[in-house]
Amino acid sequence: MLLLNNAIYRFGTLVKGSIIELIRMIRLVYLAFLLHAWLNTCYATYINYIESAEYVPTNFSNVLLYDGSCSDCICQAFFSDNSSKYEVINCYTINRTCLLFPQFVSTTKIRINTNSKVISRQTLFSTTASCNNIYSQCGGSGWNGTTNCCSGLVCTYQNAWYSQCLSMVMTTSQSPITATYYDDGRQNTTTSIYWDCCKLSCGWPYKASVTNPARTCAQDGITTIDPNTQSYCNGGSSYLCIDQQPWNVSSTLSYGYAGGFIAGYSEWDWCCACYSLLFTSGAIAGKELIVQVVNTAYTSGNMFVLQVPGGGWGGSSNGCANQFSSNYSWGNQYGGFTDRANCSQLPSFLQAGCYWRFDWFMNAFNPIARFKAVTCPTALTAITGCVRQ
């Protein structure tokens, strides 16, 4: 009987040990399965993208502006807690910002932008039987035909009246994605344009610790005038100088001047300081404008009002009507000119800045930007004579 009891005990111990080992093995296999699934879900997936393109929906509601590389934005859009909310990304490669869109509408414009890449987790191309071949029209004002382009093509916006099917490179990626988040030091701001010919607020002495106040001019717009001279718009004889208008450095970078307001700061902080504006909306999304602030925008939130000839005089007096003869036109009070051809109605020495608005700036209407303080380029301070100390 004792031998039988020992045998039963040893058998029970063996069975118990086997069951524990089996459970342990099942747990290891299960954990390995979960790890495999997690790795495949979070770090390896097929991502479609179109080089040198930009997704432009008609509705920008629920769109997220995100700072980071394309990989960072893919993680945020497709693999984060918010991944179910976003389907398409515009990745602006020159300034490490992205726009995350909650859905992709197949009839929405995709236009050429050499600074952007459209990224999606679904195909962006139509494969329907009825489609337009390469170079065929696929959209535009009054277009009643199909908007679908054949496989390998995308309907590309050219202007308000014409979109055509063009070839875009689409490749897939299955490499691991590692998110690296960082603070780029930028803030959001609104922008607008103006040109009122009045003396600059930063043109007065003692507005900030600077080498000289921002240069203001006599009626000819060229001759530097004493900084204590009152503005014509307030009964004096001082005007905005004609050379303080924007110009493009490259297809993606311009320099210019602006009136500014930064929440929580004052003229002592921003007069003659320079800021980099990275535009995040409209046709110029992804472009950068570096401005020197030489005036003050009287508002309550972050704001940069760009000095652009023919941009309207806004809430100020129109000093231009007195500075120059009545033979010229200055457009609407708010917004100024509405068409590039109107620039020829300005004095010849102001037309370049006006054309800049319709060419490099693409007549963008109050675009949103991300800004931060930068060292002033010498090209800007050489014109105003104002350098912060």
Domain boundaries, the chain: 136-167, 187-384
Q: Are strands 109-120 and 153-159 parallel, antiparallel or unpaired?
A: parallel
Residues in the chain: 389
CA torsion sign for 258, 259, 261, 265 is positive
Residue 42 has pLDDT above 50, yes or no: no
What is the average pLDDT across 35-45? 42
pLDDT band of residue 74 (cuts 50, 70, 90) is confident
Q: What is the pLDDT of residue 123?
A: 53
- Of 196, 220, 339, 359, the active-site residue reads 196
**Which residue shows structure tokens 């509705």?**
59
Residue 265 has pLDDT above 50, yes or no: yes
pLDDT band of residue 128 (cuts 50, 70, 90) is very low
How far apart, in whole angstroms, are the C-alpha atoms of residue 351 and residue 250?
A: 19
pTM (2 d.p.): 0.58
What is the average pLDDT across 336-358? 96
Query: Of 97-111, 187-201, 373-387, which range is least confident?
Result: 97-111
**CATH, domain 187-384, list 3.20.20.70, 3.40.50.150, 1.20.120.520, 2.40.40.10:** 2.40.40.10
What is the average pLDDT across 309-333? 91
Residue 363 has pLDDT above 60, yes or no: yes
Q: What is the pLDDT of residue 107?
A: 58
Residue 9 has pLDDT above 70, yes or no: no
Q: What is the pLDDT of residue 380?
A: 97
Q: What is the pLDDT of residue 36?
A: 46
**According to the per-residue pLDDT averaged within each range, which of 180-184, 199-203, 322-326 is highest?**
199-203
How far apart, in whole angstroms, are the C-alpha atoms of residue 63 and residue 386?
A: 39
User: Do residues 240 and 198 make contact, with C-beta atoms less than 8 angstroms apart?
Assistant: yes
Distances 36 to 33, 41, 43, 136 between C-alpha atoms, Å: 5, 8, 10, 46
Q: Is 196 a catalytic residue?
A: yes
pLDDT band of residue 30 (cuts 50, 70, 90) is low
How far apart, in whole angstroms, are the C-alpha atoms of residue 302 and residue 94?
A: 23
CA torsion sign for 81, 86, 91, 96 is negative
Q: What is the pLDDT of residue 141?
A: 80
pLDDT band of residue 170 (cuts 50, 70, 90) is very low
Residue 45 has pLDDT above 80, yes or no: no
Residue 135 has pLDDT above 50, yes or no: yes
Q: What is the pLDDT of residues 279-296, one digit of tens each?
A: 988 889 999 999 999 999
Residue 97 dihedral angles phi and psi, to the nearest 5°: -130, 155
Residue 180 has pLDDT above 60, yes or no: no
Q: What is the pLDDT of residues 220-247, one digit of tens each?
A: 999 999 999 999 999 999 999 999 999 9
Q: What is the pLDDT of residue 39?
A: 40
Q: What is the mean pLDDT of the chain?
A: 81
pLDDT band of residue 174 (cuts 50, 70, 90) is very low
What is the average pLDDT across 155-173? 65
% of the chain with per-residue pLDDT over 70:
77
Q: What is the pLDDT of residue 18?
A: 60
How far apart, in whole angstroms, are the C-alpha atoms of residue 311 and residue 317?
A: 13
Q: What is the pLDDT of residue 25?
A: 59
Q: Are strands 274-279 and 288-296 parallel, antiparallel or unpaired?
A: antiparallel
Burial of 81 per CB tally in 10 Å (0-12, 13-18, 19+): exposed
Q: What is the pLDDT of residue 119?
A: 85
- For 151, the token pair is 């496989």
Burial of 2 per CB tally in 10 Å (0-12, 13-18, 19+): exposed
